[in-house]
Amino acid sequence: MASSSSFLSLSEKPDRNLALLDDYEMEERDFDPNHKSGYVAVVGKPNVGKSTLINQMLGQKLSIVTDKPQTTRHRILGICSGPDHQIILYDTPGVIEKKMHQLDSMMMKNVRSAAINADCVVVVVDACKMPEKLDEVLAGVGELKEKLPTLLVLNKRDLIKPGEIAKKLQWYEKFTDVDEVIPVSAKHGHGVDDVKDWILSKLPLGPPYYPKDIASEHPERFFVGEIVREKIFLQYKNEVPYACQVNVVSYKSRPGAKDFIQVEVVVEKNSQKIILIGKEGKALKLLATAARLDIEDFLQKKVFLEVEVKVKEKWRQDEGLLKHYGYGGQIQVF
């Protein structure tokens, strides 16, 4: 993972002739003239499988996945590199039309920004749901000024009969203004190569933006926080997971000993704090253990994880606090 002491803005695409990382010199501009690179915005409604699709394309789990909508909050950048290409994927929050909190508005602003700054757009829909026109799928994002190459991915094809897939393909090809429709099963990896081939056919020629050996520009501690948040979604019910913000307060590497990671979980009400902690602290201990095991698997090292729960009333409505938490379109890199 990349590391720096500054903020890296994702609001604009980088100069195609310059490297993003200070310690990375472009493969001396002697890149293959047939090399392709570019940005792809992966958008769609909540729980349609955007993160699963991206994880399959990357060949590793980068974005957290649960069966609950709005699991993805941040615009997560995944880098899929090969000898002759570099696909930079934006995994975006699920598109929602009704915005309940300032957090929702800022997430939709980030989705729009990702789409505006992309070279092409992949719209993911659920094959099990009734077909919708593109403007209905993307309601809440707003109209995009520029018509970008657009692929519609009909996900979860493994859950419906082939005859139904054919009917839905026909409907989307007739009633949506997209360049192509591809049915896939992101969960099982079926059709994912077809999506990748389509993306590569639309990306411009150019050098890589990032070193070929990294999968994301996010620092390790970002993914540590995401793993803890995933476990909250999996362990707790109803509104509690949506009221939680996870911050990595301290991350200390300790040669010869376990790395020390201190995490705070911010909630809006004391009643939510009580639920998270559970009777005699058992629920919080279960959460910390599940998170620690996945964090160790991700980092490939042993860690000591300390989790504390704090209450900050109406944090989802506090724009300044939301920007501090990274929802303002910037990634905080430590």
Q: Where are the domains of the chain?
A: 7-202, 220-332
- The residues near 271 (Cβ < 8 Å, ≥ 6 apart) are none
Task: Round to whole Å and give the CA distance between 284 and 277.
Answer: 5
Closest CA to 195 of 37, 28, 3, 53: 53
What is the average pLDDT across 193-200?
Answer: 97
Closest CA to 125 of 186, 75, 201, 77: 186
Cα–Cα separations (whole angstroms), residue 55 to 201, 202, 297: 21, 21, 16
Determine the pLDDT at residue 329. 64
Closest CA to 111 of 95, 98, 135: 95
Task: Round to whole Å and give the CA distance between 261 and 306.
Answer: 6
Task: Round to whole Å and give the CA distance between 24 and 107.
Answer: 30
Determine the pLDDT at residue 142. 64
Evaluate whether 7-202 and 220-332 have a shared fold: no
Confidence at 260, pLDDT banded by 50, 70, 90: very high
Whether 224 has a pLDDT exceeding 90, the answer reads: yes
Strands 76-82 and 85-91: antiparallel
Under DSSP, the state recorded for 262 is E
Determine the pLDDT at residue 30. 62
Whether 322 has a pLDDT exceeding 70, the answer reads: yes
Element (H, E) at 125: strand 120-126
Polymer length of the chain: 334
Task: Round to whole Å and give the CA distance between 97 and 134.
Answer: 13
What is the average pLDDT across 230-236?
Answer: 94
Task: Round to whole Å and give the CA distance between 138 and 136.
Answer: 5
**Model pLDDT for residues 82-94, shown as the tens digit of each residue:** 999 999 998 888 8
Report which residue type is found at 233: F
Among 103-107, 153-157, 197-201, where is mean pLDDT lowest? 103-107
Task: Round to whole Å and give the CA distance between 282 and 96.
Answer: 35
Determine the pLDDT at residue 140. 65
**Model pLDDT for residues 89-148, shown as the tens digit of each residue:** 988 888 877 777 888 888 888 888 888 889 999 999 999 999 988 888 877 666 665 688
CATH architecture, domain 220-332: 2-Layer Sandwich (3.30)
Determine the pLDDT at residue 70. 67
DSSP states of 121-188: EEEEEETTSPP--HHHHTTTT---SS---EEEEEE-GGGS-HHHHHHHHHHHHHHS--SEEEE-BTTT
Whether 321 has a pLDDT exceeding 60, the answer reads: yes
Task: Round to whole Å and give the CA distance between 43 and 190.
Answer: 19
Determine the pLDDT at residue 195. 97
CATH superfamily of 7-202: P-loop containing nucleotide triphosphate hydrolases (3.40.50.300)
Report which residue type is found at 313: E
Supply the Cα-derived Rg of the chain in whole angstroms.
20
Task: Determine the 3-state secondary structure of 332 from DSSP.
Answer: strand
Does the pTM of the predicted model rise above 0.85? no
Provide the mean pLDDT of the chain.
85
**Model pLDDT for residues 17-55, shown as the tens digit of each residue:** 344 444 445 444 566 889 999 999 999 998 899 999 999
Burial class from Cβ neighbours inside 10 Å (0-12, 13-18, 19+) for residue 280 reads exposed
